Amino acid sequence: MTAPAATAPVSLDLEQVTAEERVRWAIETFGDGLVMTTSFGIQSAVMLHLVTRISPQIPVIFIDTGYLFPETYRFARELTARLRLNLKKFTPAMTAAEQEALYGKRWELGLDGIKRYNFTNKIEPMERAVRELGATAWLAGLRRTQASTRESLRVVQTQNKITKVHPIIDWDDRRVYSYLTEHKLPYHPLWEQGYVSVGDWHSTSKLLDGMSEEETRFGGLKRECGLHEPSGKTDFQI
């Protein structure tokens, strides 16, 4: 994800300010075109709380693949009620049962199968959400310490035709813990069972001895699900 030259000076300036100031800048800059996303993952309460304190009615996009852990659905309901989220849930155009009947378990079919699975279940629903909500900018809770694929991300970047803003990009795990503790916010319930990153149940594993965080997703074949990568035209089927 390479930002065009136009966003680079702005991103450099925003490196020097707080996460809250970055959120306020995004709100002032993009107005009603600003949305945020959540996966209701391990540390999702941080971004949800941080952003909605400043903009309570911001649309919160939740991509429900149909393959999430039961704990994730319960966690989503809890945080939605507690923080009074303006939640916008989007689902794949095909149900899980239909996909498996036609294509099998694509997450078991190597890297190409994973990419096709992610396109159907995550990328296409997100692109649809952006169109339907008229979004021009997207707040995302990515952090540089999460993976090698995120180490070089800027505060502000352009991904395809939408501007992405990463308010907590420079936060480490200690900072996240401090924020959660200060505001009495919960981690995802699977944190206590050894999960450090949570996606779909079939392609997420606990962090075991000798593993990196990146290896807990998609059997170590791929860290990103596609939502945070540039996507061009594909011949993938929905």
State CA 191 to chain mean position distance: 17
Paired tokens of 231:
């996507």
Secondary structure of residue 99 in the 3-state scheme: helix
User: Residues near 132 by Cβ (< 8 Å), separated by ≥ 6?
Assistant: none
Sign of CA dihedral 54, 59, 62, 63: negative
* Catalytic residue (choose from 225, 226, 227, 228): 225
| 4 labelled catalytic | no
Burial degree of 209 (CB within 10 A; 0-12, 13-18, 19+): exposed
Paired tokens of 225:
């699900």
Paired tokens of 40:
């209701």
Secondary structure of residue 215 in the 3-state scheme: helix
Place of tokens 């149940």: 201
Q: Are 157 and 5 in contact (CB under 8 A)?
A: no
Give the active site residues: 225
